[in-house]
Every structure is written in C-alpha cells, then in structure tokens.
Structure 1
Amino acid sequence: MRQRNKPWAKEKLAEYPQYVIQSPEKHLGNWHEMFDKTGPLHIEIGTGKGRFITGMAKANPTINYIGIELQDSVIVTALEKIIEEELPNIKLMNVNAADLQTYFASGEVDRIYLNFSDPWPKARHAKRRLTYKTFLKIYENILVDKGEIHFKTDNQGLFEFSLMSFSEYGLLLNDVSLDLHNSHFEGNIMTEYEEKFSRKGNRIYRCEAQYK
C-alpha cells in the first residue's frame, strides 16, 4: 500500500532519541541497558504504524520491545502512539531488517514478530520475503537457543510459502492457524492491516516457528 510521504518525519524521529534509537549499531550486545527494566527482548520487523507493538508493550510490561520499520513516514505514526502512551518498555529503529546482525548480537533476541509482511508475490522476488531462508539464517544468529518467530498474514500464498520455508530450514511449527479470528487463540493483538483485512472478510493466518 502506498504511504503518504511526510517530509517532516525524519526531523520528528530525531527529536525523540529516548524512543527512536539513533546509531543502533552502537548498542550491539547491550540492548538491556536501553530499558528501565531487564527482561526478555522481543522485536517486530515491519512495525508499520505501531498498533501491534504498542499493544504488546502495554499488555506485557515485563517484556522489552523494539519495533523495526524502514519507512520513516510510517514509523513516525508508531512514535506518536508511544509518546501518547508513555511506554517505557518499547523502542523504535528506523533501519533495514536485512542488517539485523549489525544491531543485535548472537542470542540477544528472545522472539521475532513478522506481521503482514510484503508478500512479494512474483516468484523471482522470493528472496525478498522475510521468511526466505537467508532471513531465517539472520534470525537464527540473533535469537536465543530455541527462539521463536511468530508470523501473521492474510496472504495465503505467502503463508504456504512460509510454512514450507520454515519446515525446510528445520524449524518446529506450533499453533498453526488457518483462520485465526475463528480459532481458540487467546490474547491476539491486531495490527492496522489485520483489522482492515478482517473487516473485508479476509482470513487471517498465523503460526509460531521455533528453532531447534
């Protein structure tokens, strides 16, 4: 979906270094120092406007969260939510997910969330999908032993591709749901896209993939 450009976004992001981490590579291996309380570290890749990660941070105050989003015109909306809520257990990074190993040390992250990632539907673009094997290798390097990926999408093709990719990489699949909103899963926090798509009657797919 095309996002409206906000030329003032970069300046606003720079005004809140307590929430938007500048030069995140400087904190590699020491992210626990960036939060008021020590706790597990969960990251969301593709935070968008921040509804999911702010909801998670409110619901789980003992867990620390980092939202990662490349588009500054999008992540600035997430920043506005955090400012309003004054959440101490959430930070933002305006960076590319392909560079995660530049920012996180081995075993530093406990869980990764992938919510409604770009499906890149053309076969020749498969390597760009965030569940492609090269990304799974990056995630493996920064996650703790038996770390998890929690994945949601409304795109059936991407979900099927991701299940295959997870399985071929050797991950264990748990809580696979072909219709999340009509399942027994509790505590689901929706993203902006999730609410929009579900209102249209789209089925929401979800699974948890765990490294061995």
Structure 2
Amino acid sequence: MRLRNKPWAEDKIKQYPQYVVPEPEKWRGKWRELFGNSRPLHIEIGTGKGRFIAGMAEQHPDINFLGIERQPSVIVSALDKLIEKELGNVKLLNVDGSRLRDFFAKGDVERIYLNFSDPWPKKRHEKRRLTYRMFLKLYEDILVEGGEIHFKTDNQGLFEYSLQSFSEYGLLLKNISLDLHNSGFEGNIMTEYEEKFSAKGQRIYRCEAKYRN
C-alpha cells in the first residue's frame, strides 16, 4: 500500500508530547513514572492508524498501553484518535520497533501485540518478519517472566511460519484460532486492516504465545 506523505506530520507530533512521547529512551525502566501508576504495560508494534490501541485502552482502563509506529505520516492518525478520546492510559512512540532495547528494560512490558505485520513472503527476507527468532529474543529481553505475544494476521503463510517459530523458540501456544471472527472469541478489537480483510471474506488467524518462566 502506497503511503501518503504528510509533510506536516512531524510538526503536529511535536505539539502533543502528552500523547507522542519525546525522547522515549529517558523512560527506559521508568514507564510507571511516566504514566503515574503501577499498572501493567502492554505495547503494540506497528500500531498503524491506532484503532486497535485506542480501542484496547478504552476497553481496559486498568492497563497502560504504548503504540509503536515509525512512520510519522501514519502515527498522526493514531494521534488524532487519542486527542479525540482523551485517553489517559495510552501513549505513542514514533520510533523503529527494532530498537526496543533502547526504550525498555527487562520486565518493563507484560504483553506485546503484533497485528497484521508485513509477511515478507520471500525466503531471503525471513529475518525481517516480526516473528523471526531474532525478534523473539528481542521481545524476551523486555518482557516480564512469563510475558506474552498476541499475534493476528490475515496471511496463512505467515501464521504457519509464526506458529513454528514460536514453538521452536520454546514458547507455549494457546488460544489458536484459524478463523477468529467465527471462533466465539470475546473482546476482539479490530484494526483497520482487519476490518478491510474480513469484509472481503478473508479469514483472520490469531494465537497467543507465552514465554516460559
């Protein structure tokens, strides 16, 4: 999908430091101080236009959320949702998700959401998939003991690859769904991509992967 350039995006981001955290490196190991409470912290890598993270924050006011998105022209749409809803338990990071260790210490995060990540279908691009073992190690380095990854995709090939990658890494798999919207799963918050794909009749795949204590 072609990304529409918004040259004003970076200026707008700077106008709302209460929602898009400037210099997030400063809060490594201290996110509870930023939020002003000791609630669990959940992050979404590749938050896109923010429908999921804003919806989760509304549904779970007892949890703090961070949406991570590296494209300024995309994250401003998520910013608009937070401004409109005036949510106090969710913030955004305009950074590259591959740099998680720069922003989070071990145990900062309890859960990671990966929603409709780029499948990178060519074998030579395997290392770019967000469920590749290198990324699973990265997530382990910031999660609490027994932390979880919640993963959704419309891509069957990526889902099969991810199940195998999770298993080979030693994660415990649970709540595996091969057709999420017909599974009876409760509390699902759709992303923009999810709504688009499901409207076309495409199945949505979902699973949860838990790190061993």
TM-score by length of 2: 0.99
Gaps of 5+ in 1: none
Matched position secondary structure for 1:49? coil
Shift of 1:34: 1.2
Q: 2:207 corresponds to which letter in structure 1?
A: C
- Cα RMSD of the aligned pairs, angstroms, is 0.6
Alignment of 1:84-99 (within 5 A): 84-99=84-99
Residue of structure 1 equivalent to 2:165: 165
Residue of structure 1 equivalent to 2:35: 35
Gaps of 5+ in 2: none
Residue of structure 2 equivalent to 1:153: 153
Alignment of 1:174-193 (within 5 A): 174-193=174-193
Q: 1:12 corresponds to which letter in structure 2?
A: K
Q: Deviations over 1:128-167 (max 9, x none)?
A: 0000000000000100000000000000010000000000
Shift of 1:21: 0.6
Q: Deviations over 1:21-78 (max 9, x none)?
A: 1110011000011114320000000000000000000000010000000111000000
- Give the Cα separation in 2 of the matches to 1:141 and 1:18: 27
Contact 1:68 1:94 in 2 (8 A): yes
Q: 1:5 corresponds to which letter in structure 2?
A: N
Shift of 1:184: 1.5
Q: Are 1:17 and 2:17 an aligned pair? A: yes
User: Identity of aligned pairs, percent?
Assistant: 71
Question: Would you say how many aligned residue pairs link Structure 1 and Structure 2?
Answer: 212
- Give the Cα separation in 1 of the matches to 2:36 and 2:105: 20
Question: Runs (4+) of structure 1 moved beyond 2 Å?
Answer: none
- Give the Cα separation in 2 of the matches to 1:88 and 1:169: 35
Q: Deviations over 1:72-100 (max 9, x none)?
A: 10000000000000000001000011100
Shift of 1:3: 1.6
